[in-house]
A and B are shown apart, each in its own frame.
Chain A
């Protein structure tokens, strides 16, 4: 019996019981090789799967279940669990399922070379990455992990409104983490790339970035406390953009848990700032034409020239706000029941990296520690930063062990320039960004 046939049977079961519901199935075939300090640390090939089931009663009670057993028996057992538990929740008429039947299958992110790459080839790429990183500079004493991975993902979505949507896409990713040591000084370096195809992964670029990261940290020092202009690297700015997803969530806004509540159509950022949700960006590593509630995705501005234009909605929050769902309910193989998220959320660029770095003085932040500790309700954050000191457009030193503190509102309002050098991280994409006048703690 095919997955589609099993899902049809499950859906009929729900309909016969007078229930609404939806099912997401994820199946991922991956090949992974990682080397550490010249040795093969892991070589594996396998398939992982997960099923997420949501059941809704006529009066809007809802429950969920999940299982990694993708057989008819496994899926039916998980379905029965969800049906058993639905009586324990409370009525809420905003709970519903999608009726977004028009659906165009998009296969832009499927690459045959990536699908067909064998485990031996994956291993050779990881081995090559490790060797190049180790030999890039005599101060690189340890390569903790040089990893290469390819994956083929299949997603199936069905619901009791008769929707059936599916997707098939490939991914390739590679990363390296290493240590530069010089006498008693030591410094960490890291870089990674994710793309739709193995052809788009540049191992030499990963090595160059990670080695530069580590070497530049060897002579880093703690500077004096003060207010500084901050330039974030693409990696650091992606960290920052990632923290905006929770306060932009329609559910959090509806429940009064976001500092962006009651800010719709108001100025929340500098006029130079436009934040776009771009799930069908052809150059991004993940592209999707439907979310995991079956709503078709679209490209839209979240913030436009500083004005907050919309929150990110799933069906529930859209119903609460009397709006249309924006296609922002996402799940994954590890967590198959959807919650509000993004794919390719990024700012619109207005300058080149070169122009942004050409400042009289700023701190260029390459790494942020603890951005996940940001409070999404108040927007307050206090994180550790490290990176390089820029004077008159040149790197003149390095710093580490300092703090950057403030609020997300302050970051958005002080954001002056956004570079064109995008780096994708799945849910978000970062690029070089200049943020003026932030509080930095040091000596």
Chain B
């Protein structure tokens, strides 16, 4: 979509001509390749592409929206006409805003990349898949199936808005994941999973990254084969920095997204109040170099930044889009993101983390008489109203008298975000990242999260209780 500034102005002004305080054209062009090794061979190769544009007009708290997959000047003008008509019925049209000029904003580069995906042959991409496969083939004789997945996608976005800005950004999303299925002597199956991702070019797929993932996944599946059913009940839990930051993402992050605060999140009306242990500092950083959640500009054209959420246990603020920032009378923090041009932006996390503290990770384990050590977390979910969360444990161990003992399987951790933040009493001086795609309101967003090793004195572990029913 390369229209002239005059054409953009015409579309924006047309969309605002029946009222509305803000209008925006959002364009995207996405393409990507997926390669799947499964069942002993390169089984699937897929290429996908998507392009299109949308316009939204916002007045006070209300929004009207329309989109097209054929963003010509004529089609966008037609969308603007449709919105103008709806706006004339919904909005107060006493004063009409007119956009006079558009200025291209400077390029920012928190996610530099060297090798664009479309300059790399499929053969070279397949080579990366086979590197992982070959490492896994002889790793453990109990492994019966190997699945290795390569994925890349490049998303170019352009935002032209009634604030007079033209913003362009490009996001490159490489993902490498490995799954192994192993069988014990009794024919029971176990699954191990590990993945890594970023916002960078093809140079992401290094041998070191692939070697690390394959080692992780083998260790994880072996820990399950050789493990015991997890116990159920309340325990002291140590979350390793290797566990990733699922807990900070699920248990705390979502509740600090301003749209959810407006919907009654457990963190409402708590800015300036102590909500966590003094050892806890939490940020959501859109500028963390080349991380999966990093953006130069968000999908509303706002530059991203490092947003402090909790400082020494005090809640400092929320994450905002343009819409929520206006309602809170603050500036947007650059957290307005959307899955595609077909949907409206909502408040989303980027790279969310608990910052490192002062405790030695080994001392944290040594301090526990009996508890659970979580080395790898799985997926999770949260109820943002109450702050209750659940996440799976992909790799965990019993701690007894300060030492790691047998591994456990089938465990999950459940708790309440606020209560956990208050209760964390040891924070390690390390930091480990996890990556994922966060789902909210039916939209997926690439994110990462991170945390140091932490100790939670009391947390419910979901495991197996023996005996008859009550």
Q: Which residues of A contact B (CB under 8 A)?
A: 36-37, 39-46, 48-49, 62-71, 77-78, 81-82, 85-86, 88-90, 92, 119-120, 141-145, 177-179, 181, 186-188, 217, 222, 225-229, 254-259, 337, 361, 367, 369-370, 372-373, 375-378, 380-384, 386, 400-406, 436-443
Contacts and interface: CB of A to CB of B under 8 A. Distances in A.
Interface in B16-34: none
Nearest to B82: A45
B234 interface: yes
Contact of A441 (B89, B382, B388, B461): B461
B381 A92 contact: no
B463 interface: yes
Contacts of B233: 225, 441-443
Contact of B460 (A37, A380, A403): A403
A66 B45 CA distance: 12
Contact of B461 (A120, A361, A375, A403): A403
Interface stretch (B169-177, B210-218, B283-291, B406-414): B406-414
Interface in B148-190: 181, 188-190
Contact of B469 (A43, A227, A384): A227
Contact of B386 (A85, A187, A229): A187
B385 A179 contact: yes
B82 to A, nearest CB: 7
A67 B233 CA distance: 49
A380 B62 CA distance: 45
B415 A441 contact: no
Nearest to A40: B62
A58 B463 CA distance: 50
Interface stretch (B64-72, B98-106, B363-371, B423-431): B64-72
Nearest to A67: B49
Contact of A257 (B189, B383, B468): B189
Contacts of A361: 470
B46 to A, nearest CB: 4
B90 interface: yes
Contacts of B263: 36-37, 142-145, 177, 179
Contact of B266 (A78, A186, A437): A186
A405 B126 contact: no
Interface residues of B, number: 86
Contacts of B82: 45
Nearest to B391: A370
Contact of A378 (B64, B189, B380, B470): B189
6 contacts: A44-B64, A81-B49, A92-B43, A144-B260, A188-B384, A377-B190
Contacts of A406: 464
Contacts of B50: 67-68
8 closest A-B pairs (Cβ-Cβ)?
Answer: A403-B462, A179-B264, A441-B232, A144-B263, A384-B390, A142-B264, A382-B412, A373-B392
Given A188-B384, A437-B468, 18 more contacts: A41-B61, A62-B44, A65-B49, A66-B47, A85-B122, A179-B264, A188-B383, A227-B466, A257-B189, A337-B46, A378-B191, A380-B409, A380-B410, A383-B390, A386-B388, A400-B388, A401-B416, A405-B462
A400 B387 CA distance: 11
B414 A378 contact: no
A225 B233 CA distance: 6
Nearest to A43: B64
Q: Considering residues A42, A66, A369, A384, which has the most beta carbons from chain B within 10 angstroms of its beta carbon?
A: A384
A373 B376 CA distance: 13
Contacts of B126: 88
B86 A440 contact: no
B interface secondary structure, majority: strand
Nearest to B90: A40
B326 interface: no
A409 to B, nearest CB: 11
A141 to B, nearest CB: 6
A40 B61 CA distance: 7
Contacts of B93: none
Q: Considering residues B181, B383, B468, which has the most beta carbons from chain A within 10 angstroms of its beta carbon?
A: B383
A404 B41 CA distance: 38
A60 to B, nearest CB: 11
Contact of B190 (A142, A254, A378, A442): A378
A439 B69 contact: no
Contacts of B41: 89-90, 92
B381 A369 contact: yes
Given A142-B264, A255-B145, A405-B412, A370 B390 contact: yes
Contacts of B381: 369-370, 372, 384
A41 B470 contact: no
A85 B68 contact: no
B378 interface: yes
A205 B163 CA distance: 44
B386 A437 contact: no
Given A65-B48, A255-B39, A337-B46, A403 B414 contact: yes
A91 to B, nearest CB: 8
B468 A227 contact: yes
Given A81-B47, A89-B44, A386-B388, A440 B378 contact: no
A361 B469 CA distance: 10
